[in-house]
Chains A and B, each alone.
Chain A
Amino acid sequence: MDFTTFLWTTLGAFLTLATFSFLYKDNPFYKLAEHLVVGVSAGYFVIIVWHGTMVPNLFQKLADGDWFMLWLNSTQPWYIVPGILGILMWTRFSRKYGWLSRWPMALYIGIAAGVAVPLEMSNKVNKQLVATMVDINWSNFMGTGFFDPFSGLANLLIFIGVIAGLIYFFFSKAHTGAVGGVAKLGIWTLMIGFGASFGFTVMARISLFINRLQYLDKNWREAAFDSSNPNYGAGFQIVFWLIIALIVVYVVREIMTHLSHKKANSATE
């Protein structure tokens, strides 16, 4: 790692710590990071859409003609139509011509709705129902025990659970009597599902934090003290300790102000 890359890594570490400081309270470092990321992410997106979509999908298709004739003598002049529809999207900001933006919107919404009808029906409803209505494997009913997820018993339990869950969602009939009993089973099944989701969510959130720890330790701290690096120099450690000093100064200042506030409060009491 050369020194420039290390400086960039340090910037990343600084911004990581600045963002974490929000856990203590909102402060200028956090605000800086927050506003910076909005701008950089938007600028990044502009470039990705420009080089990724506008140029290859539109301009290059119109550009093979003579520049002075614009698109007229391009080999694919019809690409001007989506171009115009796209520009109509921008009339949204005008009070007078805003209605024009409804045309490209209508085309998009119509197409999105049209593809959804058969595909969502077949993939989210039909195939799921078909997979529920399987023959129960009686010869392997118990499998390797009650907790075998691929036994005949598991098939039966899935079938019961899905039906009960669906009945719970069915509000056209009051949940009383037998229907109420099945609906209760349904809500129990759903709760196990939500519980499993929650268990996974805890792991997910912790993962995000661990990732930042790994960045601070492996990418930054280790680089600061990695003397096997051919480009290594005293600058690495100086930069590292400068950032640490900055944090310590901030923390000490916060504690001091906190204590003096406490003193002032107890004095007024």
Chain B
Amino acid sequence: MNFFDRLMRLDRRWVFLFLTVVCVAGYYVDYSIPIRVTKETRSIYDFIDSLPPGDIVFVAIDYDPSNQAELHPMTYAIMEHAFRKNLRIIFTALSQNGPGMADQAIRDITDSVALDRTYNGIEYKGRQIVNGVDYTFLGYKPYFSIIILSMGQNFRISFPTDYYGTPLDSIPMMRGVLNYDNVACLIDLSGGNITDAWISYGQGRYNFPLALGLTGVMTAQYYPYLNSGQVFGIMGGMLGAAQYERLADNPGLAIDGMRVQLPAHIVILLFIIIGNIGYFVTRRKVQLEGR
């Protein structure tokens, strides 16, 4: 058995160990990689940045803990940005474990916005985020396409109360807020096919500005909607989140994580190259022996 045969039959646990070592080493070495912002992400940032104080942004937190690595940083960056701009937010969570993700994000951002911070050279005084005044968290309901349709008529059809059981009519911020017509834009952060429902049943039927925050696995599939104008922006995976953090001057877990992406990607690239060399060498050997 020669070197390449051995290489091709390597126990995959060595591959796992190698990747782990590289990622951990990459994590502890101090360096940074440039985050260049694409048009897709910038349009989301610019949209939110240009809204006048008091406007309502609808943030749909449609992901489970399995996708938090990519989507939680987006949620944090957008929430921080919106609250600092004195915008108000309506949240929903239409995936099974989504409400817990939203609940966690709201608690963390409430703590963070209470502090004085400077973003992009502008000083923001800390303020207390109040449930019902600054945000409303609607919660989860089953059958997401039906819920998305019904919210286009009236939020109160599917959500007579918010997540905490308060009737929508007695929430100060929801006074006069009937349906999507009263929100400036909707940002869907999703790790599954709920995005399709937001495009076809939400934006497609009720015509509001829609932007997407997607997991890397899904990102490439949604570019056609960007070009056709059905969505006005896409944040793709951890890179998209890092771009938003860069724009908002609020470096978080995504920018920190992108550092480790670089060595990990190089490892995978090397694996592909070694695998291919091994493949061609052994194939040639087989061909030569065949003669």
Highest count of chain B CB atoms <10 Å: which of A24, A202, A204: A204
Q: Given that A48-B140, A119-B204 are known contacts, is A197 also in contact with B238, CB under 8 Å in the complex?
A: no
Closest B residue to A24 by beta carbon equals B13
Q: Which of A23, A122, A130, A204 contacts B204 (CB 8 A)?
A: A122
- Assess the B217–A197 pair: CB atoms within 8 A: yes
Q: Roughly how many angstroms separate A200 CA and B239 CA in the complex, as a whole number?
A: 9
- Residues of B13-33 at the interface with A, using a CB-CB cut-off of 8 Å, are 13, 16, 23-24, 27
B158 part of interface (Cβ distance < 8 Å):
yes
Q: Roughly how many angstroms separate A202 CA and B261 CA in the complex, as a whole number?
A: 9
Q: Which of A41, A123, A202 contacts B200 (CB 8 A)?
A: A123
Q: Which of A197, A201, A214 contacts B257 (CB 8 A)?
A: A214
Interface flags for B65-77 (1: CB within 8 Å of A; 0: not) read 0111110000000
A140 part of interface (Cβ distance < 8 Å):
no
Q: Which of A24, A111, A130 contacts B228 (CB 8 A)?
A: A130
User: B interface, by DSSP: helix, strand, loop or mixed?
Assistant: helix
Highest count of chain B CB atoms <10 Å: which of A45, A112, A202: A202
Q: Given that A119-B200, A211-B257 are known contacts, is A112 also in contact with B145, CB under 8 Å in the complex?
A: yes
Stretch at the interface among A54-62, A93-101, A236-244: A54-62
Residues in B whose Cβ lies below 8 Å from that of A206 = 23, 260-261, 264-265, 268
B220 part of interface (Cβ distance < 8 Å):
yes
Q: Given that A44-B97, A57-B160, A208-B69 are known contacts, is A213 also in contact with B201, CB under 8 Å in the complex?
A: no
Residues in B whose Cβ lies below 8 Å from that of A128 = 224, 228
Q: Which of A61, A116, A122, A211 contacts B68 (CB 8 A)?
A: A211
Interface flags for A25-60 (1: CB within 8 Å of B; 0: not) read 000000000000000010011001101110111001
- Assess the A203–B265 pair: CB atoms within 8 A: yes
- Residues of B202-245 at the interface with A, using a CB-CB cut-off of 8 Å, are 203-205, 215-217, 219-221, 224, 227-230, 236-239
- Residues of A64-116 at the interface with B, using a CB-CB cut-off of 8 Å, are 108, 111-112, 115-116
Min CB–CB distance A159 → chain B (angstroms): 12
A222 part of interface (Cβ distance < 8 Å):
no
Min CB–CB distance A245 → chain B (angstroms): 19
B131 part of interface (Cβ distance < 8 Å):
no
- Residues of A194-220 at the interface with B, using a CB-CB cut-off of 8 Å, are 196-197, 200-214, 217
> What is the interface size of chain B, counting residues whose CB is below 8 A from a CB of the partner?
57
Q: Roughly how many angstroms separate A195 CA and B228 CA in the complex, as a whole number?
A: 22
Q: Which of A55, A123, A131, A158 contacts B199 (CB 8 A)?
A: A123
A262 part of interface (Cβ distance < 8 Å):
no
User: A interface, by DSSP: helix, strand, loop or mixed?
Assistant: helix
Interface flags for A113-139 (1: CB within 8 Å of B; 0: not) read 001100110111001101100000000
Q: Which of B66, B69, B200 contacts A124 (CB 8 A)?
A: B200
- Assess the A207–B216 pair: CB atoms within 8 A: yes
Q: Roughly how many angstroms separate A108 CA and B200 CA in the complex, as a whole number?
A: 18
Q: Given that A51-B165, A52-B140, A123-B230 are known contacts, is A60 also in contact with B268, CB under 8 Å in the complex?
A: no
- Assess the B204–A123 pair: CB atoms within 8 A: yes
Closest B residue to A122 by beta carbon equals B204
Q: Given that A57-B158, A207-B69 are known contacts, is A201 also in contact with B261, CB under 8 Å in the complex?
A: no
Highest count of chain B CB atoms <10 Å: which of A57, A131, A210: A210
- Assess the B143–A108 pair: CB atoms within 8 A: yes
B177 part of interface (Cβ distance < 8 Å):
no
- Assess the A210–B217 pair: CB atoms within 8 A: no
B142 part of interface (Cβ distance < 8 Å):
yes
- Assess the A203–B253 pair: CB atoms within 8 A: no
Q: Given that A131-B228, A203-B216 are known contacts, is A213 also in contact with B160, CB under 8 Å in the complex?
A: no
Residues in A whose Cβ lies below 8 Å from that of B203 = 123
Q: Roughly how many angstroms separate A107 CA and B218 CA in the complex, as a whole number?
A: 31
Q: Roughly how many angstroms separate A24 CA and B11 CA in the complex, as a whole number?
A: 11
- Known pairs A197-B217, A204-B70. 4 more at Cβ < 8 A? A193-B220, A203-B265, A204-B215, A213-B260
B interface residues with partner A (beta carbon < 8 Å): 13, 16, 23-24, 27, 66-70, 96-97, 99-100, 139-143, 145-146, 149, 158-161, 163, 165, 199-201, 203-205, 215-217, 219-221, 224, 227-230, 236-239, 253, 256-257, 260-261, 264-265, 268
Nearest 4 pairs between A and B by C-beta?
A204-B216, A211-B69, A131-B228, A123-B204
25 contacts between A and B (CB under 8 A): A48-B96, A49-B140, A53-B141, A53-B142, A57-B160, A116-B200, A119-B204, A123-B200, A123-B204, A124-B200, A131-B229, A200-B219, A200-B236, A201-B216, A203-B216, A203-B237, A204-B217, A205-B216, A206-B264, A206-B268, A207-B216, A208-B69, A209-B23, A212-B69, A214-B257
